[in-house]
Amino acid sequence: MKNKVASLLLLFMASHSVHSVNVTVSEDIVQPAIVETQEVVPVDDAYVSPIENYFSLTAEFLGMDYLLNQANPAPLPVKKIDFWCMFRANTAILYAIRINQSRFAFCAGIGRSSLSYSFPPTTHSGGEKTYKTLKRASKSHTACQQIDNVIQLGDGTEITESSFTISYFDVLLRFRFNSVLNEPKEGFHTWLGMKFGFRVGSSTTIGYSEHGESGASLVRCGSFNLNRTHIAIQAGLGYGRFGLTGAYGLNPLFDKGQGPNSSDVVRPLSIGFYVDLL
């Protein structure tokens, strides 16, 4: 009897000890752990460096000049396409000011440009070719006259080309759009603006051969009653540092009533390719 009571007492104590252990382990497992977390900053609130203003130095290396609104017959019968007049030396430097940190910018600058025109030859019976040039016939009139090579150049000469060039100092104003916000020299860009040109020089050039030897030229400088200013609307479209530009003159090429017949309505039109060197 005593042995039976002792056995029951030991069994009760053993079961109570196991239950206590289980409760203790269970409490350790369910006890919540404290984990430190860091606040994640949204991408939209990340710091963006300020959008800076920028310089552009453009060089126009190929292009052509045309004359619009000419009467019939044309007072200035110039070539529509001339290989030698395609090579340009037009340059411009501009400073772009970003508008409200946007893709738009206001650009102002200065530059140098020129208009170049070449006269085509007139072929007569017998195959003889003659050329025209600008000549100031009087103080208030410039004519487009045929060149007499014997009188103007001497015996043994043959004319090979005739052209005239006008050079300008330009003040430029433009509004520009860049497709890439932070890199204005990448992606597509387009612009629209005005050019105010002030004539700094003008000349005619007659190229000829002398006794069978080519390479001679006669250059005459003067005003030729040309307009002192050249005001034009300009536009451009490009990708990266390269682009296509066009300009249409708003005022006549010559002073009123002082150019060749019916030349008061003649307006210059220019197109060209440019590259940004900065």
> 212-265: per-residue pLDDT in tens?
898 899 999 999 999 999 999 999 999 999 999 999 999 999 999 999 988 888
pTM for the model stands at 0.81
Tokens, residue 181 = 């916000």
Convert 168-194 to b/e letters by CB count within 10 Å (16 or more is b). bebebebebebeeeeebeeeebebebe
Query: Taking the chain, what is the end-to-end CA distance rounded to the nearest angstrom?
Result: 111
Tokens, residue 191 = 């612009």
Q: How far is CA 191 from CA 74, 175, 235, in A?
A: 33, 5, 6
Residue 26's pLDDT is 47
DSSP reduced 3-state for 264: helix
Residue 220's pLDDT is 95
Residues 6+ apart with CB under 8 A from 170: 92, 110, 111, 112, 113, 195, 196, 197, 198
CA–CA separation, 276 and 147 (whole Å) = 41
- Residues in the chain predicted with pLDDT less than 70, given as ranges, are 1-49
CA–CA separation, 198 and 69 (whole Å) = 22
Q: pLDDT digits over 191-200, tens only?
A: 999 999 999 9
